[in-house]
Structure 1
C-alpha cells in the first residue's frame, strides 16, 4: 500500500509538470480504482497546462460519473470539433446508452460511413437492441468483413432472430472456436430455439454462458420459468439485477403477479421504472389502473414518457387514464 501511495505521489508530481505519459498512467490507475472524479481532475489539470487532445478522454471519464452527463456531452462535442479519432463513435454510444436513439443513430452512421470499424459494430448493436435485426446483421457483417471478429456472437444472434439458422450455426461455431464475446450465450439461445434438443443440454449451455453478461442470467431465468422452475427463475432474475440487468425487474413482477403477490409485483415495477425501463413504467401504470389507484397514474405515465418509452404506448396510457378518470 505504501509503494502504491508513493507511486501515485510521483505520478501526480510528474503530471503537474506537464508529463503526458505520467498523466495517462495516473488517470488509468485512478479509473481502475473507481476514483473517476480525481481522474477527471488530472485530465483538466493537464489541459490547463496546454496538453492537447484530451477532450475525448475527459468526456469518457465524466460519462461514468453521476450527474455529469451534460458536462460529458460538452467535451464529446469538443472532441469531435477537434477531430480526435473515435470521438464521433464514442459520442454515438454515449447517446445510445442514454436512450437518445435518433441522435445516436445519426452519429454512429456518420462514424461508420467513414470506415470506423468499431462504429460499424456499435451501429449493429444499436439496431440489435432496437429489434431491427436486418440492419443489425448488415452492420455486423460489414464490421466482420473489416476484421472485427469480436462481434461474431452478435451476428449469429441477429441471424437466429431472422430465422437464418444455417448462417447462425456457422457463425456460432466460429465464435466458440475463437472464444468471441457472447459466443456461449448465442449457443445457448440457439439450442433453446431448437425443437430436438434435450432440456439438460440447454440447461448446461445456459450455465456455461452465465459469465458472458447479465443478459445471460436474464435469458436463463426466462427459460427456467418456461420449464416451470419458478423458484430458480426468481433467483436467477435477482442475480441478473445484481449485475445491472434492469429488465429482470419487469419479468420478476410478471412472476409475482402470477403468484398473486401484488406488493412484490409493484415493488419490482417501481424498481424497473427507477432504473430507466419504460416497459416497467407502462406496466406499473396498468397495474395501478387495475388497482383503482387512478390518482397515481399521471405521474407514472409522465415518468414513462420522460425515460423514453414508446410514444404510441404513452398515448395509449393517457387514453386509458382519461377513460377511467
Structure 2
C-alpha cells in the first residue's frame, strides 16, 4: 500500500510539472503512466514533451508507437531524436531499419550510436558485421562494448576469441560475463573446461548455467554426468533440458525410451523434437513409423530429415526406393 501511495504521489508531482510546461515533467509523467499501463496517457505526454524538443521523449514515443505497430510514426520520432544527437534514438532507428530489411541504413545508425558511446549499439553492430563476415570489424566493436561493460558483448567477444584460438583471453572475458550473471558465458566456460579435461570445472560451470536456465548447459550437464557414472543425475538434467525446449534432449529421451521398449513414449518425444526441426528426431520418427507399417508417414519424416541434411535418412530413402 505504501508503494502504491508513493507511485500516486510521483504521478501527481510530475503532473504538476508537466501541466506547468516542463518538458522533463512531461517526459517523466509519460514514463510513469506507461509503467502503470496507461499507454494512451503516456503517448499524450511523450508527444507533448517531444514536440517541446525533449529528445528522450522522442525516442520513448517512437518505442511506444512501434509497440502499437505504427512503424512510420515510430521511424519519424526516432529520426528526430537521432538528428538531435540522442544515441538511443540512433540505435532504435537502426533496429527499425534492420527489421525492415535496410541493413545499410541500420549499419549507418548503429555506427553513429556506437561512435557516440552507446554500448548496446556497439554490440549490435558487432553482430551485424559478423553476419557480413567482417570478423575484424566485429572484433573491434565487441571489444569496445565489452570494455564499456556490456555483458553480452563480453560473451560475444569471448566466442570470437575462442574461434581464433585465443582460449586464455576468451576464458577471461567469459569469466567477466559469467561473474555478471551471463548464463551463456557460464556455459561456454563449462565447454572450455571440458575441452581441456577439467571435468570438475565443467560440472561446476554447466550447473551454474543450468541453474540460471540455460538449456544447452542442462543437456551437457546430463551427458557429462552419464559419462561420469551418475545415471540418475544425468536423467534428471536431460529431462529438465527437454522440458525447457532443448530438442537434442528430447531426441535423447526418445532414444532411451525406445531402447527400454516404450515405443509410444519415444514417439511422443521424437515428434516434439521433429516438429521443432531436429533432423535426427525426424529420422528416428520415420524409422519407428516404418517399423509400425506406417509407410506414408515414415517416408514423409525420412524425406524431411534428408532435406535437413541427415545422411542416414538419405541412405534410408535410397534403400526404400531400391526395394520399391
Q: Normalising by the residue count of structure 2, what TM-score does the alignment of the two structures yield?
A: 0.62
Which whole-Å CA distance do the structure 1 matches of 2:109 and 2:66 have between them? 18
Matched position secondary structure for 1:5: helix
Alignment check: 8 A CA contact 2:206 2:220 kept: no
Match of 2:55 among 20, 27, 37: 20
Q: For the structure 1 residues 12 and 221, does the alpha-carbon distance in structure 2 shift closer, same or farther, using more than 3 Å as the test?
A: same
Give the counterpart of 1:139 among 167, 170, 180.
170
Higher relative contact order (CA 8 A, sep 6+): 1
State the partner residue of 1:251: 280
Partners of 1:56 and 1:75 within 8 A in 2: yes
Cα drift, residue 25 of structure 1: 3.0
Displacement of 1:168 in angstroms is: 1.1
Give how far 1:43 is off.
0.5
SS at match of 1:18: coil
1:91 is aligned to 2:125: yes
* CA RMSD after TM alignment: 3.9
Say whether 1:236 aligns with 2:272. yes
- In the alignment, which of 220, 223, 230 is matched to residue 197 of structure 1? 230
Does structure 1 residue 5 correspond to structure 2 residue 17?
no
Residues 153 and 180 of structure 1 are in contact (CA less than 8 Å); yes or no, is this contact kept in structure 2? Answer: no
Deviates more, 1:33-42 or 1:144-153: 33-42
Runs (4+) of structure 1 exceeding 6 A deviation are none
- Give the 3-state SS of the residue equivalent to 2:246 in structure 1: helix
Mapped to 1, the partners of 2:278 and 2:207 lie a distance apart of 33
Alpha-carbon distance in structure 2 between the residues aligned to 1:209 and 1:120: 25
2:101 alignment partner, SS class:
coil
- 1:112 touches 1:123 (CA, 8 Å); kept in 2? yes
* Aligned residue number for residue 15 of structure 2: none
The reply to whether residue 158 of structure 1 matches residue 158 of structure 2 is no
Matched, 1:218 2:247: yes
| 8 Å Cα contact 1:187/1:205 also seen in 2 | yes
Deviation string for 1:9-34 (max 9, x for gaps)? 33233223322232343344445566
Where in structure 2 are there 5+ consecutive unaligned residues?
A: 1-33, 259-264, 291-297, 319-324
Aligned mates of 1:35, 1:92 — CA distance in 2:
28
Q: Which secondary structure does the structure 1 equivalent of 2:230 belong to?
A: coil
User: Which residue of 65, 74, 81 maps to 2:108?
Assistant: 74
Q: How many pairs are equivalent?
A: 257
Shift of 1:38: 4.7
Matched with 2:303 is 266
Distance 1:283 1:251, change over 3 A: closer
2: distance between equivalents of 1:137 and 1:61?
37
Kept in 2, the 8 Å contact 1:89–1:111? The answer is: yes
